[in-house]
Structure 1
Amino acid sequence: DSYSLIYEEIFVKGEKKIDGDILIAEFINRNKKYLAIRFKLPRGNSEYFSADGRNVKKAFLRSPVKFSYISSKYNLNRRHPVLHKIRAHTGVDYAATKGTPIRATGDGTILFADKKGGYGNLVEIKHTEDYSTRYAHLDKFHPRIKLGKKVKQSDIIGYVGRTGTATGDHLHYEFRVNGKHTDPLTVKLPNAKPINSLEIDRFTQHSKNILEELNNYQNLSF
């Protein structure tokens, strides 16, 4: 295995302060090459793409929280630990310490942020016409989370708690496709959007330039 990369260095008055963003990374594993090229999009944010313009990240994170263990999996025939009767468990429960940050698993718009029955404090995010996610039993919401607010993947939306019908601190997470519950642990996650066709020429030139720079560094003898 081998890897190469080019990254920024931040200088202030001629003195290096910190390392900046990675501009390009190349990883070779079993003779297969993987590339990630940083590219600034028209709206101002930067993402990483392969040489042919495919986004290298997934549209969703698999898990929205750093958890201790999974306390309950997706199970449509689960016996409810509080109600003591069979009730479909339409998500995954992640046991975590009270106050642990909860992150949006994908870009989207806040569809709901309030108390909702047994869910307790609940955030629902609409990502696309097809995908939505729910985050339940929150101790509290992040101050910026309001109805209609747009969020980005990994933004903090709230904190782990045990509001609603819950036996302990945990996050209940649901993933819906076309309004139907799916198992968050096994659902096939879509890729993020590739380079827009209007930007492909600019990206192609940028990709060519940064690849040439990487090749030049790789050919240097030290």
Structure 2
Amino acid sequence: MKFRRTASAILALAFSGSIAAHGVASADLLGSSGPGGGRPFWDPTQVNEADVKPDHAEGKFGPVTFTDAGDGDHVIPFLEKANAGKGPYYGRVQTVATGYTPGQYYTVRVTLRTADNGADWGVYTWQTYQATAQGELHIDLRIEFPSRAQVGERIVAAPAVYNANDIRRDGRPNKVDPKCVLNCERVAPLTKYKDYSNPDSIITIGQAE
């Protein structure tokens, strides 16, 4: 789904059977700053993600790692000239979340954020999982880095777990008020990762190779 050359959003959906849905959405904006990263209000990656509510909480995350999907380190090379035709770079998010209802379906939504301050970086991905008999979610997701990434940027992967029925097919949480149009409150997640300074969860954009 493309909006404009200078502010594009890409949505990709894939389905495995009838229960697992996943995709990636990214806003490729240059020189953006300010609230929402300078993204326009209609950008589908701009979501007011709620915090966990005490009466709507379940489970917890184990250690969250975010690495270069190619070599397993924490550095992604700068995408100079669209990576010289080599194709995009991907990060890999891995963790095991525990304490969920066995057999229940949950959607894990991973938002990329600026390390330390947690500002939304305009990229997210999602995947629906069925909790194991032990109540575990074995999370292993790949996420594409957009060409706007700049050398020195530090990006943290911040997963959140939702009831699968609370996530739309574009990967965004349902609105609390379906009639809301702009800056809408979203359904709260069951679990949310907020350790934005954990080096294991951070990828740095390095020099071009």
The higher relative CO (CA closer than 8 Å, separation ≥ 6) is in: 2
Larger radius of gyration: 1
Structures share fold, TM-score greater than 0.5: no
**Which TM-score tier does this pair reach, normalised by the shorter chain?**
under 0.3
Q: Normalising by structure 1, report the TM-score.
A: 0.22
